């Protein structure tokens, strides 16, 4: 099992540096920021941009794996994102995981002059973007002719540190998204109840078998926060163990959990010292 921490980038830069260095020191496998232009739960507050923040945090950490959970395909052309991926992979010396999603939070799009495409188009664009990024990262030059995205002899220089490319962490919930995930993902990320995660993992297994891929090749990853769970996993060490036990029965083997509140810091440290080594 793998365990990571997700931070919303509404905190001062110096605080975020302190937090990420602590997560690394405590031995968590990964740390993540989020990709929004405003924070959905606090849309009037401060919020840093995901990829530039991640580059800065890559430079002040050394061992912990890093990523954006997940990069919205509605914000950037996939060729620009591919260049950002390579840049951050180099800054981190090969510690980057590529989190990708179709995009969903409607209010921030008109705020910043962006179009939120209808659901079917969002899925189709996501599929093209994943294929384009996957292909571009594996080759010296790429030509891509999609319905929505095109490249012409686009060079990939420098190549990513990680070969053949950094791992793809693809987020989604519904069957059409799961078909894309089955074909391309190294990690499948989702959120929901235990039953929802079990159902999605079963559908993903079936899709992998349909296309001839071993389902065990794909890590099953939960993005979790207190409000979407039966109880706050940072309420106690026992609550954290219970959360892991419940979701692991649905096939989850990676837990990416929102950071605890400041007053729960001691629970985070106890979980890192007493629970994670045994669960691993």
Q: Which residue in 90, 28, 15, 106 sits closest to 277, CA to CA?
A: 28
Model pLDDT, residue 114 = 98
Q: pLDDT by residue for the chain (280 residues), tens digit each?
A: 999 999 989 999 999 999 999 999 999 999 999 999 999 999 999 999 999 999 999 999 999 999 999 999 999 999 999 999 999 999 999 999 999 999 999 999 999 999 999 999 999 999 999 999 999 999 999 999 999 999 999 999 999 999 999 999 999 999 999 999 999 999 999 999 999 999 999 999 999 999 999 999 999 999 999 888 888 999 999 999 999 999 999 999 999 999 999 999 999 999 999 999 988 7
Contact 7, 19 (CB under 8 A): yes
The DSSP line for 122-133 is HHHHHHHHHHHH
What is the spatial distance between Cα 221 and Cα 206, in angstroms, rounded to a whole number?
A: 17
* Strand pairing category for 187-190 and 219-224: parallel
Q: Which residues pair with 101 in a beta bridge?
A: 72
User: Which architecture characterizes domain 2-279 according to CATH?
Assistant: Alpha-Beta Barrel (3.20)
* Whole-number Å distance between alpha carbons of 273 and 207: 38
d(CA 201, CA 188) in angstroms, rounded, equals 9
pLDDT at site 253: 96
Token representation of residue 89: 């992979």
Reduced to 3 states, what is the DSSP secondary structure of residue 74?
coil
| Backbone angle region of 212, left / alpha / beta, with phi > 0 → left and psi within -120 to 50 → alpha | left
Exposed e or buried b per residue across 188-220, where buried means at least 16 C-beta atoms within 10 angstroms of its C-beta: bbbbbebeebbebbebbbebbeeeeeebeebbb
- Three-state SS sequence of 146-212: CCCCEEEEEECCCCCCCCCCCCEEEECCCHHHHHHHHHHCCEEEECCCHHHHHHHHHHHHHHHHHHC
Query: Is there a contact between 98 and 167 (Cβ–Cβ < 8 Å)?
Result: yes
pTM (2 d.p.): 0.96
């Amino acid at each position: 099992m793998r365990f990571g921490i997700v931070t919303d980038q509404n905190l001062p830069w110096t605080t975020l540096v302190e937090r990420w260095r602590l997560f690394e020191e405590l031995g968590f496998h990964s740390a993540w920021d989020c990709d929004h232009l405003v924070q959905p739960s606090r849309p009037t507050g401060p919020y840093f941009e995901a990829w530039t923040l991640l580059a800065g945090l890559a430079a002040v950490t050394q061992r912990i794996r890093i990523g954006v959970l997940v990069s919205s395909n509605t914000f950037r052309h996939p060729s620009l994102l591919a260049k950002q991926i390579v840049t951050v992979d180099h800054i981190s010396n090969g510690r980057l995981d590529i989190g990708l999603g179709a995009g969903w939070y409607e209010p921030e799009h008109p705020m910043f002059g962006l179009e939120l495409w209808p659901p079917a188009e969002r899925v189709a664009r996501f599929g093209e973007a994943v294929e384009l990024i996957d292909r571009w990262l594996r080759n010296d030059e790429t030509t891509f002719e999609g319905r929505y995205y095109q490249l012409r002899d686009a060079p990939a220089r420098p190549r990513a540190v990680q070969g053949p490319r950094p791992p793809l962490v693809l987020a989604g919930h519904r069957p059409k998204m799961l078909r894309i995930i089955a074909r391309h993902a190294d990690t499948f990320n989702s959120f929901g109840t235990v039953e929802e995660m079990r159902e999605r993992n079963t559908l993903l297994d079936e899709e992998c078998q349909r296309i001839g891929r071993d389902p065990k090749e794909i890590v099953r990853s939960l993005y979790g926060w207190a409000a979407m769970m039966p109880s706050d996993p940072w309420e106690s060490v026992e609550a954290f163990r219970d959360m892991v036990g419940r979701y692991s029965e649905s096939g989850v083997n990676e837990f990416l959990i929102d950071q605890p509140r400041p007053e729960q810091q001691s629970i985070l440290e106890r979980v890192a010292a007493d629970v994670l080594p045994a669960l691993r």
